[in-house]
């Protein structure tokens, strides 16, 4: 039967494939995915047989090792993914209004966007913050700002709260713990998810403060503290998203994310934890791009390679500990300023790919993000997009509906195989930290980004409205402009705070932060003390700068 089927397939290929047009073929005459994986004109059971695909080993069941079919045994039949939105701008008051808007319209998760000065550990009154306050997120200088940001929003109202804390993770977990105490909300009644991934900052994003080695230690402090005190929280969201946005392909996104997770795991073990103490509480944050089937396959391959890698490397005996929480955001880099309404379609397709790939929280971009921080109208469309997918399309009725597709399974295997090759290369270099210090991640991503740029400029990669189907007359679009008055208000609020707080107490708590950094103690407890005394984010980070110094990235190009 198999021999006969193979002969029929060869006959079909001879008759049909050789006559196919050269639509979107590369220079070698191949049709390829965004990651350069060749796509055949047809996939059959023979393609899985040829790669030794085994249903039990490579696919299995939802919620079971190796988790290719998703984290939850029943998928979305019990409840949908979290409807998230990465949001905040201006100041805490304006961002609070946006959070109320999102929750009132059916959002179930809040993802706090911080402005750049805050991420870099500068208060709004620092000279380097001038002109950047509130532009791409909210300035959070102190506990007072947190109180305003969540005014009227108990921390246990959303199903989950996420914060983009990277270089200063201990400070932001301290802000949340202190706010919960002020609100009278038990930390046991809500889930906090911290991004808290510093390594990708050296590779792709740039909001680092301290050198890599102490930074990984700071990140690890948060993981250790949560494992010991709030084991239901998610103290680390290992982020491939930003590397992908910088130009990495899907294979690199998988491999570099896992390599960074290995580095954090080794650091946690060095601080006395076992992998079993926290692995199941880690999250992974990935992109959902526009190459639909590759993105679905990528999310499946990521789960499978993660489970297999950590099981083998750390001898994890309980497979359930290898089942992580998956956060996905659609690809902001795919959005175009030309014909911005087209971005609604792009985001819808990317959101559907994230759902079919089995995400636990989805943060769709808004159609106007190529221009500005999203307007209220654009944010509402993005929220409604995932609500339509959840309520109208029927994709939630069965678990992992694309499983068993000859194409999807073959592509999943190819992505896993190529990502494993990258991991072997990184291991040979001494691990992720060494590879980053040598510029390996950065150069590989730059090469990928350059290739994409060349493809767009040559027309080999079609971007509708940019290099094909171009309109001379564009429809006007409403742009959100952050009122410069908000920066002045923020600085005045900070000045008043510093004038009325107990500055002797602040000075003493900052001293304890420095002492903890010098001695290698966990930084979270002294950070909590400092935050409760209304020390600012900038002051705490300055205390750490005195111990660790600041890092300037070398040029690898």
- What are the structure tokens assigned to 517, written together? 């950094």
Q: Quick one: pLDDT band at residue 225, thresholds 50, 70, 90?
A: very high
Say whether both 451 and 526 belong to one domain.
Answer: no
Tell me the three state secondary structure of residue 234: strand
DSSP string, 42-64: ---HHHHHHTT--IIIII--TTS
Cα separation of 144 and 536, whole Å? 9
Q: What is the mean pLDDT of residues 496-506?
A: 97
Please say whether the beta carbons of 388 and 394 come within 8 A.
no
Q: What is the mean pLDDT of residues 297-324?
A: 96
Whether 469 maps to a domain, the answer reads: no
Whether 299 maps to a domain, the answer reads: yes
Count: domains in the chain: 2
Cα separation of 242 and 259, whole Å? 15
- Residue 473 backbone dihedrals phi, psi, to 5 degrees: -105, 110
Whether 105 maps to a domain, the answer reads: yes
Q: Which residues contact 294 (CB under 8 A, 6 or more apart)?
A: 33, 34, 35, 37, 250, 411, 415
Residue 138 has pLDDT above 80, yes or no: yes
- How many residues in the chain? 557
Say whether both 452 and 497 belong to one domain.
Answer: no
Max intra-chain CA distance, the chain:
85
Whether 383 maps to a domain, the answer reads: yes
Q: Which residues contact 95 (CB under 8 A, 6 or more apart)?
A: 87, 88, 89, 112, 138, 149
In angstroms, what CA-CA distances link 443 with 3, 55, 76, 336, 438? 46, 37, 39, 25, 9
Full-model pTM: 0.94
Each residue of 167-203: pLDDT tens digit? 999 999 999 999 999 999 999 999 999 999 999 999 9
Whether 26 maps to a domain, the answer reads: no
Say whether both 199 and 287 belong to one domain.
Answer: yes
Q: What is the mean pLDDT of residues 433-443?
A: 95
Q: For position 12, what pLDDT does the model report?
A: 75
**The residue to which tokens 């949908």 are assigned:** 80
Q: For position 306, what pLDDT does the model report?
A: 98
- What are the structure tokens assigned to 292, written together? 């639909």
Each residue of 97-128: pLDDT tens digit? 999 999 999 999 999 999 999 999 999 999 99
With both helix axes pointing from N to C terminus, report the angle between 169-183 and 212-229 in degrees, rounded to the nearest 10.
30
Please say whether the beta carbons of 152 and 99 come within 8 A.
no
Residue 19 has pLDDT above 80, yes or no: no
According to DSSP H, which parts of 271-375 are helical?
292-314, 342-356
Please say whether the beta carbons of 287 and 245 come within 8 A.
yes
Each residue of 369-414: pLDDT tens digit? 999 889 999 999 999 999 999 999 999 999 999 999 999 999 999 9
Tell me the three state secondary structure of residue 441: helix
Say whether both 214 and 288 belong to one domain.
Answer: yes
Cα separation of 28 and 548, whole Å? 50
Q: For position 479, what pLDDT does the model report?
A: 86
Each residue of 33-70: pLDDT tens digit? 999 999 998 899 999 999 999 999 999 999 999 999 99
Tell me the three state secondary structure of residue 229: helix
Residue-averaged pLDDT of the chain: 93
Whether 138 maps to a domain, the answer reads: yes
Percent of the chain surpassing pLDDT 70:
97
Q: For position 327, what pLDDT does the model report?
A: 97
Q: For position 553, what pLDDT does the model report?
A: 82
Say whether both 433 and 496 belong to one domain.
Answer: no
Q: What is the mean pLDDT of residues 277-281?
A: 89
Q: For position 17, what pLDDT does the model report?
A: 61
Say whether both 319 and 451 belong to one domain.
Answer: yes
Q: For position 89, what pLDDT does the model report?
A: 93
DSSP string, 493-536: HHHHHHHHS-HHHHHHHHHHHHHHHHHT--SHHHHHHHHHTT--
Whether 467 maps to a domain, the answer reads: no
CB-neighbour burial class of residue 1 (10 A; exposed 0-12, middle 13-18, buried 19+): exposed
Q: For position 23, what pLDDT does the model report?
A: 47
CB-neighbour burial class of residue 425 (10 A; exposed 0-12, middle 13-18, buried 19+): middle
Say whether both 447 and 516 belong to one domain.
Answer: no
Say whether both 163 and 235 belong to one domain.
Answer: yes
Say whether both 532 and 417 belong to one domain.
Answer: no
Each residue of 412-432: pLDDT tens digit? 999 999 999 999 999 999 999
Say whether both 410 and 502 belong to one domain.
Answer: no
Closest by alpha carbon to 9, among 39, 54, 47? Answer: 47
Q: Single out the residue in 458, 476, 511 at which a domain terminates.
A: 458
Say whether both 372 and 509 belong to one domain.
Answer: no
Q: For position 113, what pLDDT does the model report?
A: 94
Residue 538 has pLDDT above 90, yes or no: yes
Say whether both 296 and 150 belong to one domain.
Answer: yes
Q: Single out the residue in 458, 493, 508 at which a domain terminates.
A: 458
- What are the structure tokens assigned to 520, written together? 């290698």
CATH number, position 368: 3.20.20.240
Whether 1 maps to a domain, the answer reads: no
Rg (Cα) of the chain, in Å, rounded?
A: 24
Q: Which domain, by its residues, includes 182? A: 79-458
């Amino acid at each position: 039967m198999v021999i006969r089927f193979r002969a029929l397939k060869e006959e079909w290929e001879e008759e049909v494939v050789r006559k196919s047009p050269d639509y979107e073929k590369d220079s070698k005459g191949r049709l390829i995915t965004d990651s350069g994986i060749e796509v055949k004109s047809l996939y059959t059971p023979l393609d899985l047989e040829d790669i030794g695909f085994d249903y039990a080993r490579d696919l299995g069941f939802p919620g079971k090792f190796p988790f290719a079919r998703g984290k939850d045994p029943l998928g979305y039949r019990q409840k949908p993914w979290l409807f998230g939105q990465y949001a905040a701008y201006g100041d805490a008051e304006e961002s609070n209004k946006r959070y109320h808007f999102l929750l009132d319209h059916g959002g179930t998760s809040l993802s706090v966007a911080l402005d750049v000065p805050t991420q870099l550990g500068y208060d709004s009154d620092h000279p380097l913050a001038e002109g950047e306050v509130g532009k791409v997120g909210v300035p959070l200088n102190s506990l007072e700002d947190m109180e305003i940001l969540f005014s009227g929003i108990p921390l246990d109202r959303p199903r989950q709260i996420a914060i983009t804390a990277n270089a200063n993770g201990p400070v932001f977990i301290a802000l949340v713990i202190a706010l919960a105490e002020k609100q009278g909300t038990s930390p046991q009644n809500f889930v906090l998810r911290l991004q808290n991934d510093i390594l990708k900052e050296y590779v792709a994003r740039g909001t680092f403060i301290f050198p890599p080695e102490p930074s990984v230690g700071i990140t690890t402090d948060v993981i250790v503290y949560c494992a010991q005190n709030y084991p239901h929280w998610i103290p680390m969201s290992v982020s491939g998203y930003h590397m992908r946005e910088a130009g990495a392909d899907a294979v690199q996104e998988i491999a570099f994310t896992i390599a960074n997770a290995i580095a954090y795991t080794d650091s946690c073990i060095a601080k006395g934890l076992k992998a079993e103490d926290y692995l199941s509480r880690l999250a992974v944050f990935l992109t959902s791009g526009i190459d639909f089937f590759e993105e679905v396959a990528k999310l499946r391959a990521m789960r499978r390679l993660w489970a297999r890698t950590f099981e083998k490397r750390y001898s994890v005996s309980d497979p359930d500990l290898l089942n992580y929480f998956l956060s996905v955001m659609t690809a902001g880099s795919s959005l175009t300023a030309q014909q911005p309404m087209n971005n609604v379609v792009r985001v819808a397709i990317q959101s559907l790919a994230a759902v079919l790939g089995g995400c636990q929280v989805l943060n769709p971009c808004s159609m106007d993000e190529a221009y500005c921080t999203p307007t209220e109208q654009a944010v509402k469309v993005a929220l409604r997009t995932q609500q339509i997918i959840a309520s109208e399309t029927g994709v939630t009725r069965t678990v992992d509906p694309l499983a068993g597709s000859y194409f999807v399974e073959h592509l999943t295997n190819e992505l896993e195989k190529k990502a494993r090759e990258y991991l072997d290369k990184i291991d040979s270099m001494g691990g992720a930290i060494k590879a980053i210090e040598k510029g390996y991640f950065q150069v590989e991503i730059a090469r990928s980004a350059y290739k994409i740029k060349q493809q767009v400029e040559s027309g080999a990669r079609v971007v509708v409205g940019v290099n094909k189907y171009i309109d001379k007359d564009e429809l006007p679009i409403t742009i959100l402009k952050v009122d410069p008055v908000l920066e002045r208000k923020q600085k005045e609020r900070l000045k008043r705070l510093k004038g009325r707080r107990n500055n002797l107490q602040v000075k003493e708590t900052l001293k304890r932060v420095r002492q903890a950094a010098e001695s290698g103690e966990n930084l979270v407890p002294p950070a909590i003390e400092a935050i409760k005394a209304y020390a600012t984010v900038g002051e705490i980070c300055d205390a750490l700068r005195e111990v660790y110094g600041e890092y300037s990235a070398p040029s690898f190009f």
